[in-house]
Amino acid sequence: MPQSREIAITRFDGQTSGDTRDCVALEEPLEIRLDASDGAERGTRSLSITMRTPGHDHELAAGFLLTEGLLHHAHEIGSITHDGDHVVTVHLADHARVAWPTMERHFYATSSCGVCGKSSLDALEVPGLQRIARDGFSCRVQTVPLLSDQLRARQSVFDQTGGLHAAALFDGDGEFVDIREDVGRHNAVDKLLGAQFLQGRPPLADRLLFLSGRASFELVQKALTAGIPMIAAVGAPSSLAVELAQRFDLTLLGFVRGARFNVYSGAWRLREA
């Protein structure tokens, strides 16, 4: 599935200009639907419309349901189908149940915002978030600066367009696990976590999430739903992201560029050797 498109442009360079071609990242709508039973009857409802880069749509839908706190186990999903180019339907297994009234949290999401259109402030925080255990996961200080180059080397669509965010998973030794790209930060994370979810792997208590951009509230929250103990971001965290990380004992690193980075929460998970 194409994730970029070549278009005609005019390029200016100092005092000169000329016609040429450039590659831009695709951004197209995706409607996520849920086919499920509430115990009395089965029905299909639309949960969200998000602007995304095509590709890994099944993972995006699964990750969305996970990080919204609607699903907790892969066996709750019976199948996922494409109903046209811009609609994905998640069909829950017969034994799985939903409470349709709780679906009022769902929203229209742009590529840049994972919480736009929430019906109330109370709906912003996913219910049932668990504090991250302080023991078990750690990462060497010397490993952190190496992650950015590993991420950048695997951003294939970014190389073509310069217009995609990336989210990647590493283990505590800095070994690469997986990566996803998208025009939306939250979509990249949902695709990445959705892939792990569909393989039955969350909680990801032995993984570090690396972000190519800033660390916002919704991205920290998504990491918490998957049980991830550490986030490292190239950009800055927001105040709400820091507060959420501190409240749930998640380690949050920002401005990870070369050998320098800031620790905003959970410094105890970083070791010198």
Q: Which two tokens stand for residue 189?
A: 């994370």
**Residues 178 and 56: beta-carbon distance below 8 Å:** no
Catalytic residue among 23, 113, 116, 139: 113
Q: How many structural domains are present in the chain?
A: 2
Q: 160 with 118, same domain?
A: no
* Domain match, 143 and 236 both: yes
Q: Which residues contact residue 61 at a Cβ distance below 8 angstroms, ignoring those fewer than 6 apart?
A: 32, 80, 88, 90, 194
pTM: 0.88
- Is residue 113 part of the annotated active site? The answer reads yes
Last residue of a domain, one of 67, 95, 124: 124
The answer to whether residue 7 is domain-embedded is no
Which residue in the block uniquely carries the two structure tokens 């609609």?
87
Structural domain of residue 89, as residue ranges? Answer: 28-124
Model confidence pLDDT, tens digit, residues 7-27: 898 989 888 999 988 888 889
Is residue 173 a contact partner of residue 147, using CB atoms and an 8 Å limit? no
Residue 114 and residue 151 in one domain: no
Residue 13 lies in a domain: no
Pairwise CA distance, residues 114 & 218, whole Å: 6
Is residue 262 within 8 A of residue 245, CB to CB? The reply is no
Are residues 37 and 151 located together in one domain of the fold?
no
- Return the CATH number at 78: 3.10.20.10
Q: Which of 139, 141, 135, 138 is nearest to 262 (CA)?
A: 141
Instruction: Determine the average pLDDT of the residues in 70-80.
Output: 95
pLDDT digits (tens, 9 = 90+) for 103-124: 655 444 544 555 554 444 455 6
Within-domain flag for 98: yes
My answer on whether omega of the bond before 203 falls inside 30° of 0, hence cis, is: yes
CATH classification at residue 194: 3.40.140.10
Q: Is 148 part of any domain?
A: yes
> Does residue 61 sit in the same domain as residue 172?
no
Flag whether 241 is in a domain.
yes
Q: Does some domain include residue 16?
A: no
Residue 25: predicted pLDDT: 82
- At 220-236, the pLDDT tens digits run 999 999 999 999 999 99
Evaluate whether residue 206 is within a structural domain. Answer: yes
